[in-house]
């Protein structure tokens, strides 16, 4: 069998010879999809083997990707592609299973919470069925277990537990030799995702200390507080991993910084774009899409991805949060503001990410 990179180059050569383009899969895939959806080449197809109910608004999808998929490391994310009302939609989710499940059984899991008004999460909950095939991208992200082993504190909230589940399963399987503590915040006890799995992990993995905290079951909201951190043995030596709502993560970082934690000791992953304060900058401007021979105007803090989509273009993208870099594009002229950091680009040519770049004045793109 040809190596993956060689196969890709061969397909590009074939596409140039037959269709004068680098992606012949765009022509062949509709036919292959009708014959066998697992033969599609544009993305890695993954069959839905099982759908498990976790809570009233959270389900776990057990997927069997085609064997050509490259696998993942605990704590990483993937983009999935599904067709909703005839339009392909891409979204990013964390893998909730251990990589060992993929290595041993060829299976992975995604644990997905229904978001109010969420186009894709609601479709997945309401319409996706066992036996269906969805698209799976390659895994990415550096929210990964420290090596060599060091003491770890996880602080998770709600569906932010999903990458932590992958990490804990992996640590337990590999007998990770360092203390591990999980502070898991949920609205109520009924909102605990993977309750049985967490309790089983606590029983069989002696290094794990589990503390599930319900924030909305008392008269006053129960948020993360200093006493929670005081109860973690040897907290100053811990590597801290944060995943959850922005409010919880901001509070956790504030408490940790006051204790003298360095940035390098705190690892975060987001389920929504955190966003910098863009202040009173004058944003927007004329955006020229050179490859499409299209020019449109924009006002305010709309990103270039949003502007392109509003103009009827369909640029490649994935997470929409600045993580996966699938929307990277060449800017030929103009200045953009990074929505995550608030920093301005230079005025000349450079690669930018459409999903987190806001124009400040006229901008031209090779798109």
Do 53 and 33 lie in one domain? The reply is no
pLDDT at position 42 over 80: no
Q: Token match 């599930």: residue?
A: 212
Asked if the structure places residue 276 within a domain, the reply is no
Do 233 and 208 lie in one domain? The reply is yes
Cβ atoms of 189 and 159 within 8 Å: the answer is no
Cβ atoms of 84 and 120 within 8 Å: the answer is yes
Q: Read off the pLDDT of residues 149-183 as tens digits, 9 standing for 90 and up.
A: 999 999 999 999 999 999 999 999 999 989 999 99
Do 156 and 265 lie in one domain? The reply is yes
pLDDT category at 340 given cuts 50, 70, 90 is confident
What is the predicted pLDDT for the residue at 3? 46
pLDDT at position 38 over 60: no
Do 121 and 186 lie in one domain? The reply is no
Selected residue with higher pLDDT from 276 and 93: 93
User: CA–CA distance from 246 to each of 91, 264, 272 (Å)?
Assistant: 19, 19, 8
What is the predicted pLDDT for the residue at 30? 54
Do 215 and 260 lie in one domain? The reply is yes
Mean pLDDT of all residues in 228-243: 96
271-274: long-range pairs with CB below 8 Å, 24+: 271/159, 271/160, 271/243, 271/244, 272/246, 272/321, 273/320, 273/321, 273/322, 273/339, 273/340, 273/355, 273/356, 274/246, 274/340
Asked if the structure places residue 91 within a domain, the reply is yes
Do 225 and 201 lie in one domain? The reply is yes
Number of domains in the chain: 4
Do 156 and 264 lie in one domain? The reply is yes
Structure tokens given for 244 = 């959850």
d(CA 108, CA 77): 12
Asked if the structure places residue 326 within a domain, the reply is yes
pLDDT at position 254 over 70: yes
Domain boundary pick from 142, 167, 189: 142
Do 250 and 291 lie in one domain? The reply is no
Cβ atoms of 293 and 366 within 8 Å: the answer is no
Cβ atoms of 336 and 357 within 8 Å: the answer is yes
Asked if the structure places residue 277 within a domain, the reply is no
Percent over 90 (pLDDT), the chain: 59
What is the predicted pLDDT for the residue at 2? 41
What is the predicted pLDDT for the residue at 267? 94
Nearest to 28 by CA among 67, 137, 136, 19: 19
pLDDT at position 5 over 50: no
Do 158 and 249 lie in one domain? The reply is yes
Beta bridge partners of 90: 81
What is the predicted pLDDT for the residue at 32? 47
What is the predicted pLDDT for the residue at 324? 78
- The radius of gyration computed from the CA coordinates of the chain, to the nearest angstrom, equals 22
Do 157 and 264 lie in one domain? The reply is yes
Please give the residue range of the domain that contains residue 2.
Answer: 1-40
Asked if the structure places residue 274 within a domain, the reply is no
Domain boundary pick from 81, 108, 142: 142
Alpha helices in 52-177 (DSSP H): 99-105, 119-127, 161-173
pLDDT category at 19 given cuts 50, 70, 90 is very low
What is the predicted pLDDT for the residue at 319? 75
CATH number of the domain bearing residue 299? 3.10.20.30
Asked if the structure places residue 279 within a domain, the reply is no
| Residue partners of 25: CB distance under 8 A and separation at least 6 | 11, 40, 41, 42
| Residue partners of 2: CB distance under 8 A and separation at least 6 | 10
Comparing 15-29, 114-128, 271-285, 353-367, the range with the smallest average pLDDT is 15-29
Q: Read off the pLDDT of residues 60-115 as tens digits, 9 standing for 90 and up.
A: 999 999 989 999 999 999 989 898 988 888 888 999 999 999 999 999 999 999 98
pLDDT at position 282 over 60: yes
Q: Read off the pLDDT of residues 287-314 as tens digits, 9 standing for 90 and up.
A: 999 988 898 888 777 889 888 888 888 8
Do 290 and 333 lie in one domain? The reply is yes
Asked if the structure places residue 4 within a domain, the reply is yes
Do 338 and 301 lie in one domain? The reply is yes
d(CA 33, CA 42): 11
What is the predicted pLDDT for the residue at 289? 92
pLDDT category at 280 given cuts 50, 70, 90 is low
Asked if the structure places residue 212 within a domain, the reply is yes
Q: Read off the pLDDT of residues 198-226 as tens digits, 9 standing for 90 and up.
A: 999 999 999 999 999 999 988 889 999 99
Say whether 283 sits in a helix, a strand or coil: coil
Domain boundary pick from 84, 117, 142: 142
Beta bridge partners of 266: 240
pLDDT at position 354 over 70: yes
């Amino acid at each position: 069998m040809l190596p993956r990179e060689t196969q890709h180059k061969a397909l590009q050569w074939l596409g140039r010879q037959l269709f004068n383009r680098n992606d012949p899969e765009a022509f062949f895939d509709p036919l292959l999809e009708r014959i066998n959806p697992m033969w599609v080449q544009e993305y890695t197809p993954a069959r839905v083997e099982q759908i498990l109910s976790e809570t009233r608004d959270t389900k776990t999808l057990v997927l069997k990707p085609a064997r050509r998929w490259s696998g993942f490391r605990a704590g990483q994310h993937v983009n999935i592609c599904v067709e909703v009302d005839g339009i392909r939609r891409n979204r990013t989710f964390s893998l909730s299973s251990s990589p060992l499940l993929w290595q041993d059984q060829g299976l992975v899991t995604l644990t997905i919470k229904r978001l109010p008004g969420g186009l894709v999460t609601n479709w997945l909950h309401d319409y996706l069925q066992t036996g269906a095939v969805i698209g799976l991208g390659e895994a990415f992200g550096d929210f990964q277990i420290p090596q060599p082993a060091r003491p770890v504190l996880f602080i998770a909230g709600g569906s932010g537990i999903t990458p932590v589940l992958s990490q804990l399963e992996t640590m337990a399987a590999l007998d990770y030799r360092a203390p591990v503590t999980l502070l898991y915040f949920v609205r109520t006890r009924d909102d605990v995702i993977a309750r049985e799995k967490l309790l089983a992990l606590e029983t069989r993995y002696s290094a794990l200390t589990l503390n599930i905290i319900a924030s909305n079951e008392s008269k006053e909201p129960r948020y993360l507080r200093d006493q929670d951190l005081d109860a973690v043995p040897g907290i100053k030596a811990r590597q801290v991993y944060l995943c959850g709502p922005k409010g919880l993560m901001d509070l956790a970082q504030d408490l940790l910084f006051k204790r003298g934690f360095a940035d390098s000791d705190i690892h975060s992953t987001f389920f929504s774009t955190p966003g910098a304060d863009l202040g009173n900058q004058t944003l927007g401007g004329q955006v020229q899409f050179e490859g499409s021979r299209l020019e449109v105007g924009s006002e305010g803090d709309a990103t270039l991805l949003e502007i392109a989509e509003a103009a009827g273009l369909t640029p490649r993208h994935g997470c929409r949060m600045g993580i996966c870099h699938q929307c990277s594009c060449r800017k030929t002229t103009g200045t953009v503001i990074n929505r995550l950091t608030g920093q301005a680009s230079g005025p000349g040519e450079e690669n930018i990410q459409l999903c987190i770049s806001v124009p400040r004045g006229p901008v031209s793109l090779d798109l």
